[in-house]
Amino acid sequence: MLTPLPPKIIERIPVYIISGFLGSGKTTLLNRLLSHVPQSAVIINEFGVTPIDQQLLREHKVPLSTLAGGCLCCQVRGSLTPLLKNLRMAWDAGNKPFQRVIIETSGVANPEPVLDSLLRERWIAARYSLQGVISTVSAIMDEEHLDFFPEAQAQIAWADTVVMTQTDLADYRQIARINRRLDQLAPTATRLTAVQGVVDPDVLLNVSEKFRRLRDEGLPDPPDHGFSSITLQLEAPIAWDRVEAALVYLTTHYGKQLVRVKGLVYTPEQNRPLLVQGAAGKLYPPTRLPSRLSDDGIGRLVFISHGEINGLSEALMTKLRGV
Protein backbone atom coordinates (compact mmCIF):
# COMPACT_ATOMS: atom_id res chain seq x y z
CA MET A 1 0.00 0.00 0.00
CA LEU A 2 1.43 3.31 -1.07
CA THR A 3 1.77 6.02 1.52
CA PRO A 4 0.48 9.36 0.21
CA LEU A 5 3.09 12.06 0.01
CA PRO A 6 2.62 14.99 2.38
CA PRO A 7 1.39 18.18 0.74
CA LYS A 8 4.16 20.44 -0.51
CA ILE A 9 4.74 23.44 1.73
CA ILE A 10 4.80 26.65 -0.29
CA GLU A 11 7.18 29.30 0.98
CA ARG A 12 5.37 32.62 1.24
CA ILE A 13 6.92 35.98 0.42
CA PRO A 14 6.54 38.65 3.12
CA VAL A 15 4.55 41.73 2.05
CA TYR A 16 4.45 45.17 3.65
CA ILE A 17 1.99 47.93 2.72
CA ILE A 18 2.97 51.58 3.12
CA SER A 19 0.03 53.98 2.99
CA GLY A 20 -0.55 57.57 4.03
CA PHE A 21 -2.24 60.69 2.76
CA LEU A 22 -0.85 62.95 0.05
CA GLY A 23 2.41 64.59 1.07
CA SER A 24 2.87 62.61 4.29
CA GLY A 25 6.29 61.24 3.32
CA LYS A 26 5.58 57.68 2.13
CA THR A 27 8.19 57.70 -0.64
CA THR A 28 10.81 59.39 1.55
CA LEU A 29 10.29 56.66 4.14
CA LEU A 30 10.48 53.96 1.46
CA ASN A 31 13.66 55.47 0.02
CA ARG A 32 15.39 55.33 3.41
CA LEU A 33 14.05 51.85 4.10
CA LEU A 34 15.47 50.46 0.84
CA SER A 35 18.93 51.63 1.89
CA HIS A 36 18.73 49.09 4.72
CA VAL A 37 16.75 46.32 2.97
CA PRO A 38 17.78 46.54 -0.69
CA GLN A 39 16.67 42.99 -1.49
CA SER A 40 13.08 44.10 -1.89
CA ALA A 41 10.64 44.21 -4.79
CA VAL A 42 8.64 47.45 -4.84
CA ILE A 43 5.20 48.25 -6.22
CA ILE A 44 4.33 51.95 -6.38
CA ASN A 45 0.77 53.09 -7.03
CA GLU A 46 0.48 56.70 -8.22
CA PHE A 47 -2.82 58.49 -8.71
CA GLY A 48 -1.52 60.68 -11.53
CA VAL A 49 -1.05 59.30 -15.04
CA THR A 50 2.62 60.38 -15.03
CA PRO A 51 4.64 58.46 -12.39
CA ILE A 52 6.94 60.72 -10.36
CA ASP A 53 7.60 58.90 -7.07
CA GLN A 54 9.79 56.28 -8.77
CA GLN A 55 12.29 59.05 -9.49
CA LEU A 56 13.01 59.24 -5.76
CA LEU A 57 14.11 55.62 -5.86
CA ARG A 58 16.45 56.00 -8.83
CA GLU A 59 19.58 55.21 -6.77
CA HIS A 60 18.20 51.83 -5.70
CA LYS A 61 18.57 48.88 -8.06
CA VAL A 62 15.44 47.00 -6.98
CA PRO A 63 12.68 45.31 -8.97
CA LEU A 64 10.27 48.23 -9.36
CA SER A 65 6.75 48.20 -10.78
CA THR A 66 4.49 51.24 -11.13
CA LEU A 67 0.70 51.28 -11.31
CA ALA A 68 -0.25 54.79 -12.41
CA GLY A 69 -3.44 56.56 -13.45
CA GLY A 70 -5.66 55.72 -10.49
CA CYS A 71 -5.87 54.08 -7.06
CA LEU A 72 -5.37 50.46 -6.08
CA CYS A 73 -8.70 50.84 -4.28
CA CYS A 74 -10.60 51.53 -7.48
CA GLN A 75 -9.30 52.43 -10.96
CA VAL A 76 -6.27 50.10 -11.07
CA ARG A 77 -7.47 47.63 -8.46
CA GLY A 78 -7.57 44.76 -10.96
CA SER A 79 -3.91 45.28 -11.89
CA LEU A 80 -2.45 44.21 -8.55
CA THR A 81 -3.21 40.48 -8.73
CA PRO A 82 -1.56 39.83 -12.14
CA LEU A 83 1.43 41.93 -11.07
CA LEU A 84 1.86 39.87 -7.90
CA LYS A 85 1.53 36.66 -9.95
CA ASN A 86 4.28 37.85 -12.31
CA LEU A 87 6.54 38.73 -9.37
CA ARG A 88 5.95 35.32 -7.83
CA MET A 89 6.81 33.51 -11.06
CA ALA A 90 10.00 35.58 -11.34
CA TRP A 91 10.79 34.69 -7.71
CA ASP A 92 10.25 30.97 -8.32
CA ALA A 93 12.33 31.00 -11.51
CA GLY A 94 15.13 33.26 -10.30
CA ASN A 95 16.32 31.58 -7.09
CA LYS A 96 14.52 34.08 -4.84
CA PRO A 97 15.92 37.35 -6.27
CA PHE A 98 14.21 39.40 -3.53
CA GLN A 99 13.24 38.75 0.08
CA ARG A 100 10.07 40.80 0.43
CA VAL A 101 7.55 42.92 -1.46
CA ILE A 102 6.74 46.49 -0.41
CA ILE A 103 3.58 48.09 -1.79
CA GLU A 104 3.29 51.87 -1.62
CA THR A 105 -0.32 52.86 -2.20
CA SER A 106 -1.58 56.11 -3.66
CA GLY A 107 -2.05 58.98 -1.23
CA VAL A 108 -5.81 58.93 -1.82
CA ALA A 109 -6.25 55.14 -1.56
CA ASN A 110 -8.16 53.24 1.08
CA PRO A 111 -5.91 50.21 1.83
CA GLU A 112 -8.82 47.81 2.45
CA PRO A 113 -9.12 46.50 -1.16
CA VAL A 114 -5.36 45.79 -1.19
CA LEU A 115 -5.74 43.81 2.04
CA ASP A 116 -8.70 42.04 0.47
CA SER A 117 -6.54 40.88 -2.47
CA LEU A 118 -3.69 39.70 -0.24
CA LEU A 119 -5.81 37.90 2.33
CA ARG A 120 -8.81 36.56 0.39
CA GLU A 121 -7.55 35.63 -3.10
CA ARG A 122 -6.50 32.00 -2.63
CA TRP A 123 -3.58 31.87 -5.08
CA ILE A 124 -2.12 35.13 -3.71
CA ALA A 125 -2.75 34.29 -0.05
CA ALA A 126 -1.01 30.91 -0.46
CA ARG A 127 2.17 32.54 -1.81
CA TYR A 128 2.34 35.90 -0.01
CA SER A 129 2.29 36.63 3.70
CA LEU A 130 1.03 40.05 4.76
CA GLN A 131 3.36 41.23 7.53
CA GLY A 132 1.73 44.54 8.29
CA VAL A 133 0.34 47.89 7.22
CA ILE A 134 2.48 50.97 7.82
CA SER A 135 0.85 54.41 7.58
CA THR A 136 2.63 57.76 7.48
CA VAL A 137 0.98 60.78 9.09
CA SER A 138 2.41 64.27 8.79
CA ALA A 139 2.72 66.21 12.05
CA ILE A 140 1.82 69.38 10.13
CA MET A 141 -1.23 67.83 8.45
CA ASP A 142 -4.23 70.14 8.31
CA GLU A 143 -6.74 68.58 10.70
CA GLU A 144 -9.52 69.66 8.37
CA HIS A 145 -8.07 67.27 5.78
CA LEU A 146 -8.25 64.48 8.32
CA ASP A 147 -11.87 65.37 9.05
CA PHE A 148 -12.88 65.88 5.43
CA PHE A 149 -11.20 62.95 3.66
CA PRO A 150 -12.36 59.47 4.77
CA GLU A 151 -9.40 58.00 2.86
CA ALA A 152 -6.98 59.64 5.31
CA GLN A 153 -8.89 58.21 8.26
CA ALA A 154 -9.02 54.72 6.72
CA GLN A 155 -5.26 54.72 6.11
CA ILE A 156 -4.68 55.33 9.82
CA ALA A 157 -7.41 52.98 11.05
CA TRP A 158 -6.02 50.00 9.09
CA ALA A 159 -2.42 50.59 10.20
CA ASP A 160 -0.45 48.23 12.39
CA THR A 161 2.27 50.88 12.66
CA VAL A 162 1.82 54.64 12.36
CA VAL A 163 4.92 56.68 11.48
CA MET A 164 4.63 60.38 12.30
CA THR A 165 6.67 62.42 9.84
CA GLN A 166 7.78 66.06 9.53
CA THR A 167 7.94 66.53 13.29
CA ASP A 168 10.92 68.81 12.69
CA LEU A 169 8.51 71.24 10.98
CA ALA A 170 5.86 71.13 13.72
CA ASP A 171 5.57 72.59 17.20
CA TYR A 172 4.55 70.58 20.24
CA ARG A 173 0.90 71.71 19.98
CA GLN A 174 0.56 70.35 16.44
CA ILE A 175 2.18 67.06 17.45
CA ALA A 176 -0.10 66.76 20.49
CA ARG A 177 -3.21 67.38 18.34
CA ILE A 178 -2.23 64.70 15.84
CA ASN A 179 -1.45 62.26 18.64
CA ARG A 180 -4.93 62.82 20.08
CA ARG A 181 -6.46 61.96 16.70
CA LEU A 182 -4.29 58.85 16.50
CA ASP A 183 -5.60 57.84 19.92
CA GLN A 184 -9.07 57.85 18.37
CA LEU A 185 -8.32 56.30 14.97
CA ALA A 186 -5.53 53.81 15.75
CA PRO A 187 -5.36 53.20 19.51
CA THR A 188 -3.61 49.81 19.18
CA ALA A 189 -1.09 50.73 16.46
CA THR A 190 2.62 50.96 17.18
CA ARG A 191 3.83 54.56 16.85
CA LEU A 192 7.16 55.68 15.48
CA THR A 193 8.66 59.03 14.52
CA ALA A 194 10.69 59.64 11.36
CA VAL A 195 12.49 62.83 10.34
CA GLN A 196 13.41 62.82 6.63
CA GLY A 197 12.41 59.15 6.56
CA VAL A 198 14.98 58.11 9.19
CA VAL A 199 13.59 55.30 11.35
CA ASP A 200 14.96 52.04 12.74
CA PRO A 201 14.22 49.55 9.93
CA ASP A 202 14.23 46.57 12.29
CA VAL A 203 11.54 48.15 14.43
CA LEU A 204 9.55 49.28 11.39
CA LEU A 205 9.52 45.86 9.72
CA ASN A 206 8.97 43.92 12.93
CA VAL A 207 5.31 44.90 13.02
CA SER A 208 2.77 42.96 15.01
CA GLU A 209 -0.18 42.24 12.74
CA LYS A 210 -3.43 43.14 14.46
CA PHE A 211 -6.62 41.12 14.05
CA ARG A 212 -8.29 41.98 10.76
CA ARG A 213 -11.86 41.08 9.90
CA LEU A 214 -12.53 41.70 6.25
CA ARG A 215 -16.02 41.61 4.86
CA ASP A 216 -17.37 38.16 4.01
CA GLU A 217 -18.90 39.44 0.82
CA GLY A 218 -16.98 40.93 -2.08
CA LEU A 219 -16.10 44.59 -1.87
CA PRO A 220 -18.60 46.83 -3.67
CA ASP A 221 -17.48 49.38 -6.20
CA PRO A 222 -16.25 52.34 -4.11
CA PRO A 223 -17.83 55.75 -4.55
CA ASP A 224 -16.01 58.39 -6.54
CA HIS A 225 -13.48 59.92 -4.14
CA GLY A 226 -13.59 63.24 -5.99
CA PHE A 227 -9.87 63.61 -6.68
CA SER A 228 -8.49 64.54 -10.09
CA SER A 229 -5.03 65.06 -11.52
CA ILE A 230 -3.41 67.22 -14.19
CA THR A 231 0.03 66.60 -15.71
CA LEU A 232 2.00 69.35 -17.44
CA GLN A 233 5.17 68.92 -19.47
CA LEU A 234 7.94 71.52 -19.69
CA GLU A 235 9.74 70.81 -22.96
CA ALA A 236 12.73 73.08 -22.26
CA PRO A 237 14.76 73.94 -19.15
CA ILE A 238 13.39 76.87 -17.18
CA ALA A 239 14.79 78.98 -14.35
CA TRP A 240 13.79 77.71 -10.92
CA ASP A 241 12.81 81.14 -9.59
CA ARG A 242 10.18 81.41 -12.33
CA VAL A 243 8.83 77.94 -11.56
CA GLU A 244 8.80 78.68 -7.84
CA ALA A 245 6.87 81.91 -8.33
CA ALA A 246 4.27 80.13 -10.46
CA LEU A 247 3.80 77.32 -7.93
CA VAL A 248 3.55 79.73 -5.01
CA TYR A 249 0.84 81.57 -6.94
CA LEU A 250 -1.12 78.35 -7.51
CA THR A 251 -0.85 77.09 -3.93
CA THR A 252 -1.89 80.52 -2.64
CA HIS A 253 -4.84 81.09 -4.99
CA TYR A 254 -6.27 77.57 -5.10
CA GLY A 255 -5.78 76.91 -1.39
CA LYS A 256 -6.96 73.65 0.04
CA GLN A 257 -8.49 72.44 -3.22
CA LEU A 258 -4.97 71.81 -4.56
CA VAL A 259 -3.79 69.07 -2.19
CA ARG A 260 -0.58 67.86 -3.86
CA VAL A 261 2.10 69.09 -6.27
CA LYS A 262 5.04 66.96 -7.36
CA GLY A 263 7.32 66.63 -10.34
CA LEU A 264 10.70 67.06 -11.97
CA VAL A 265 12.00 70.33 -13.41
CA TYR A 266 15.15 70.89 -15.48
CA THR A 267 16.96 74.21 -15.11
CA PRO A 268 19.48 75.79 -17.52
CA GLU A 269 22.54 75.67 -15.26
CA GLN A 270 22.88 71.86 -14.98
CA ASN A 271 21.44 68.58 -16.24
CA ARG A 272 20.51 67.16 -12.84
CA PRO A 273 16.73 67.49 -12.41
CA LEU A 274 15.06 69.23 -9.50
CA LEU A 275 12.52 67.22 -7.53
CA VAL A 276 9.58 69.51 -6.70
CA GLN A 277 7.08 68.70 -3.95
CA GLY A 278 4.27 70.51 -2.19
CA ALA A 279 1.20 69.60 -0.14
CA ALA A 280 -1.72 71.37 1.54
CA GLY A 281 -0.68 74.86 0.47
CA LYS A 282 3.00 74.44 1.35
CA LEU A 283 5.84 74.25 -1.18
CA TYR A 284 8.95 72.41 0.03
CA PRO A 285 12.53 73.29 -0.96
CA PRO A 286 13.50 71.48 -4.19
CA THR A 287 16.07 68.67 -4.20
CA ARG A 288 18.60 67.84 -6.93
CA LEU A 289 18.46 64.23 -8.09
CA PRO A 290 21.40 62.44 -9.72
CA SER A 291 21.25 62.40 -13.51
CA ARG A 292 20.62 59.18 -15.45
CA LEU A 293 21.17 58.17 -19.06
CA SER A 294 17.42 57.66 -19.45
CA ASP A 295 16.63 61.30 -18.52
CA ASP A 296 14.99 63.06 -21.47
CA GLY A 297 15.32 66.65 -20.22
CA ILE A 298 11.54 67.17 -20.20
CA GLY A 299 10.10 68.54 -16.97
CA ARG A 300 6.85 67.06 -15.65
CA LEU A 301 4.58 68.46 -12.98
CA VAL A 302 1.62 66.57 -11.51
CA PHE A 303 -1.16 68.40 -9.66
CA ILE A 304 -3.70 66.47 -7.57
CA SER A 305 -6.81 68.34 -6.48
CA HIS A 306 -10.06 67.58 -4.74
CA GLY A 307 -12.42 68.25 -7.60
CA GLU A 308 -11.36 69.72 -10.90
CA ILE A 309 -9.65 73.12 -10.97
CA ASN A 310 -10.68 74.95 -14.10
CA GLY A 311 -7.95 77.06 -15.64
CA LEU A 312 -5.07 75.66 -13.57
CA SER A 313 -2.96 74.76 -16.60
CA GLU A 314 -3.51 78.14 -18.20
CA ALA A 315 -2.70 79.97 -14.97
CA LEU A 316 0.52 78.02 -14.52
CA MET A 317 1.73 78.58 -18.08
CA THR A 318 0.93 82.28 -17.83
CA LYS A 319 3.04 82.60 -14.70
CA LEU A 320 5.88 80.55 -16.19
CA ARG A 321 6.00 82.93 -19.14
CA GLY A 322 6.34 85.76 -16.64
CA VAL A 323 3.13 87.49 -17.72
Helix (H, G, I), strand (E, B) or coil at 236: coil
Q: What is the mean pLDDT of the chain?
A: 78
pLDDT value at 175 more than 80: yes
C-alpha span between 131 and 296 (Å, rounded): 38
The per-residue pLDDT for range 177-213, each reduced to its tens digit, is 999 988 888 887 889 998 877 888 888 888 655 444 4
pLDDT digits (tens, 9 = 90+) for 6-20: 566 788 999 999 999
H or E element in which residue 81 lies = helix 80-93
Residue type, 106: S
Q: What is the pLDDT of residues 104-137, one digit of tens each?
A: 988 888 787 888 788 778 898 889 988 888 999 9
Query: How far from each other are the two terminal CA atoms of the chain, in whole angstroms?
Result: 89
The CA distance from 79 to 10, in Å, is 24
Tell me the range of 57-66, 73-82, 228-237 where mean pLDDT is highest: 228-237
Helices (H) and strands (E) in the chain, counts: 10, 13
**pLDDT at 73 (0 to 100):** 59
DSSP 96-165: ---SEEEEE--TT--SHHHHHHHHH-HHHHHHEEEEEEEEEEETT--HHHHHH-HHHHHHHHT-SEEEEE
Q: Environment class of residue 54 by beta-carbon count within 10 Å: exposed (0-12), middle (13-18) or buried (19+)? A: middle
Q: Average pLDDT of 28-50?
A: 83
**What domains can you pick out in the chain, each with its CATH number?**
13-205 (3.40.50.300), 227-320 (3.30.1220.10)
